[in-house]
A and B are shown apart, each in its own frame.
Chain A
Amino acid sequence: MNGAGQSRLVVEDLRVAFDTRQGTVHAVDGVSFDVAAGRTLAIVGESGSGKTVAAMTAMGLTRGARTRIGGRVLLDGEDLLTAPAERLQELRGDAIAMVFQDPLSALHPLLRVGAQVAEAVRAHRDVSRASARARALELLEQVALPDARRRLDAYPHELSGGMRQRVTIAMALANEPQVLLADEPTTALDVTIQAQILALLRRLRDELGMAMVLITHDLGVAAETADEIAVMYAGRIVERAPAGELLTAPQHPYTWGLLRSMPRLDAPVGAELVSIPGRPPSLVHPPSGCRFHPRCPHVRNRHREVDPPLATTAAGAGHEVACLLPEAERRALWARLGAGAVR
């Protein structure tokens, strides 16, 4: 963890609820994290765990009559949640930018990619069309789009998935943001392209000194890129730790499930992938007590009533977990699970 002084983005007790016909959906329910310049926080979780909503809310993209938002999102000390719409418009795409999951649907199908990148420049810089276009070319070269000069005038459908994602990244970087939110930036891509895009994001983070939030459902992606990993479940962070620590000594049963459901090349031949039983819970009527209890193999009666807070573990060094099992027992369980001794 870095001191708050260095943190570019600080999220404190973020709450996002949507009023729907089925009831109020508590998509994000008291989430806090922070990211320092040049560092990457990965937020990992299943679909519907609230990770995308959290990022979109930080960008002001979930504002609306049916949305209730609470907490604070501080960008260099300025609260984005209470910022007026005009101020938010100034900041997004400039100081804080976002890369989206599916690059084909995230790009306008009828506009040339060069124009779409140049538009991001001109939204925040008072420059001529020609220099915005020159800047767009520079950005496309920076994200290593092959044959960038010619592709300025291409339409999104003329590019491959990886090239499209490079374009959306170029667009997000147009004004050298301090904070980059990358929402599943590699999910829609082939595995080989995934690795390239992750390497690109790491390189750009280091070159530009950005604070990066990487949202993914894939712990492998998080492991490859992040300094710190936060695991989200049902709108909350259930475990947070430095990446290495979280991958080797996880303490939350949900994190165990995620790790054990990852296909591994070094797994013994014939080893089964273990899926997490059950389905993600309803966010309209979340389970009582620990929200993971209906799916937890280690549930005790008390867990159905007591809601565990996110608390520092004895492991220290910024390892926090929201679990009611005694820490010694958690360590013992993982020692066996990690070795593949029990299911």
Chain B
Amino acid sequence: MAAFVLRRVLWGLLLLLLVSALTFFVFYVLPSADPAQLRAGRSASPQLLAQIRENLGLDRPLTAQYWTFLTNLVPHADLGYSYYSGASVGSLIVDRLPATISLTVGAIVVWVLVAVPIGVLSAVRRGTWIDKLTTGGALLGISAPVYWLGLVSLYLFADDIGRWPLLPGAGSYVGITEDPWDWFSGLILPWLVLASTFTAVYARLLRGSMIEALSEDYVRTARAKGLSERRVVLRHALRAAITPLVTLAGLDIGLLLGGAVLTEAVFGIPGIGRLSYDAIVHADFPVIQGTVLVAALFVIVANLVVDIAYAYLDPRVRAS
């Protein structure tokens, strides 16, 4: 197990290196706004532009720039400074991290807490009204884009512009340390919106997986043992049905982060997603690079955790 984790960590580091190189070169090779021009203002003299380029190190060859970036990052954990605000990218990210973690972790909790009961219930009661209702709901959740769902939820329920002003709307995010209740209530809509697609998809997946598990011989054995139906469904069928979904969920954490960017934009949550969105608008390369790396790290760690969890859940994987 230790060797497995070590191997995965090394792979993860290599992957981060590749991601950073890719972001770096794509940013400069593809046509995008010139960072120097954006900083210099509308009618800047060529001298000023050259000066800014030199200050930012943009006049040096790309490979040299990348080397500087790496040699700052690896020993000092230094991601450089924002072209736009001049603040250290590291501190910008650390400031924004709690909001994004609040949003994504909460959405994952909603995702699991809603998808699992719906999946189980619609499998056990398949063909009944409850199955049909959740099928319809899932279809809606799968087809609705996050930003559209976010805006609709604001128009319906936000306390400033909503038809039924029930919950705090856009821009109401506060840190958990400031006021836990406001933190919680302000995130309810974003959590539901971000989790909706995943909940819908996974409720359907789990339903299928449960129906399959319920027809397995070992479920029949569990019934033959005289176990209660509840125990048959939850301990025997669900245990088997949910295991393959865990791996899939690990892969979808990346998608969840993508959704978080949009959700933060719609709800005005000052998180990493919002930060990277603003950085792209301002061609603020160091911040883009920093947020991409943090996102990649997040996905890699999530996958590692999921793989370890999977090995824990399925002893047959552990053996091989």
Residues of A with Cβ closer than 8 Å to B? 56, 59, 61, 85, 89-94, 97-98, 100, 102, 105-111, 119-120, 123-124, 155, 157-158, 168, 171-172, 174
> CB distance B315 to A110 under 8 Å?
yes
- The CA-CA distance from A92 to B236 in the complex, in Å, is 17
In the assembled complex, the CB of A140 is this many whole angstroms from the nearest CB of chain B, namely 16
- The CA-CA distance from A172 to B223 in the complex, in Å, is 12
- The CA-CA distance from A92 to B225 in the complex, in Å, is 6
* Chain B residues in 8 Å Cβ range of A109: 218, 240, 314-316
* Chain A residues in 8 Å Cβ range of B316: 109, 155, 157
The verdict on B179 contacting chain A, using a C-beta distance below 8 Å, is: no
Contact of A93 among B218, B225, B243, B315 (CB under 8 A): B225
> CB distance B315 to A91 under 8 Å?
no
Per-position binary interface string of chain B over residues 183-227, scored 1 when its CB falls under 8 Å from any chain A CB and 0 otherwise: 000000000000000000000000000000000111011111111
Complex: chain A residue closest to B221, CB-CB: A106
* Chain B residues in 8 Å Cβ range of A89: 226-229
Please name 10 pairs of A and B residues whose Cβ atoms are closer than 8 Å in the assembled complex, sorted by A. Answer: A90-B226, A92-B225, A92-B226, A93-B225, A93-B227, A106-B217, A108-B221, A109-B240, A110-B243, A110-B313
**Those of B288-320 within 8 Å (CB) of chain A:** 313-316, 319
> CB distance A111 to B239 under 8 Å?
yes
- Whether A92 contacts B223 in the complex (CB less than 8 A), given A102-B217, A109-B316, comes out as yes
* Chain A residues in 8 Å Cβ range of B223: 61, 92
- The CA-CA distance from A264 to B148 in the complex, in Å, is 74
* Chain B residues in 8 Å Cβ range of A106: 217-218, 220-221
> CB distance B224 to A59 under 8 Å?
yes
Complex: chain B residue closest to A94, CB-CB: B226
> CB distance B240 to A93 under 8 Å?
no
Contact of B226 among A56, A100, A124, A157 (CB under 8 A): A124
Q: Majority SS of interface residues in chain B? A: helix
> CB distance B240 to A108 under 8 Å?
yes
> CB distance A100 to B313 under 8 Å?
no
Contact of B218 among A56, A59, A105 (CB under 8 A): A105
Residues of B with Cβ closer than 8 Å to A? 216-218, 220-229, 236, 239-240, 243, 313-316, 319
* Chain B residues in 8 Å Cβ range of A97: 224
> CB distance A61 to B224 under 8 Å?
yes
- Whether A110 contacts B240 in the complex (CB less than 8 A), given A123-B225, A157-B319, A171-B221, comes out as yes
> CB distance A93 to B224 under 8 Å?
yes
* Chain B residues in 8 Å Cβ range of A110: 239-240, 243, 313-315
> CB distance A108 to B222 under 8 Å?
yes
| Additional A-B contact list (19), CB under 8 Å, known A90-B226, A98-B224 | A61-B224, A89-B227, A93-B227, A94-B226, A100-B220, A100-B221, A105-B218, A106-B218, A110-B314, A110-B315, A111-B239, A119-B225, A123-B226, A123-B228, A155-B316, A157-B316, A158-B315, A158-B319, A171-B221
Complex: chain A residue closest to B216, CB-CB: A105
> CB distance A120 to B239 under 8 Å?
no
Complex: chain A residue closest to B316, CB-CB: A157
* Chain B residues in 8 Å Cβ range of A155: 315-316
- The CA-CA distance from A120 to B228 in the complex, in Å, is 11
> CB distance A105 to B225 under 8 Å?
no
Which interface residue of A85, A123, A168 has the most chain B CB atoms within 10 A? A123
Complex: chain B residue closest to A175, CB-CB: B226
In the assembled complex, the CB of B231 is this many whole angstroms from the nearest CB of chain A, namely 8
- The CA-CA distance from A109 to B316 in the complex, in Å, is 8
- The CA-CA distance from A59 to B221 in the complex, in Å, is 11
Which interface residue of B217, B228, B236 has the most chain A CB atoms within 10 A? B217
> CB distance A108 to B319 under 8 Å?
no
In the assembled complex, the CB of B223 is this many whole angstroms from the nearest CB of chain A, namely 6
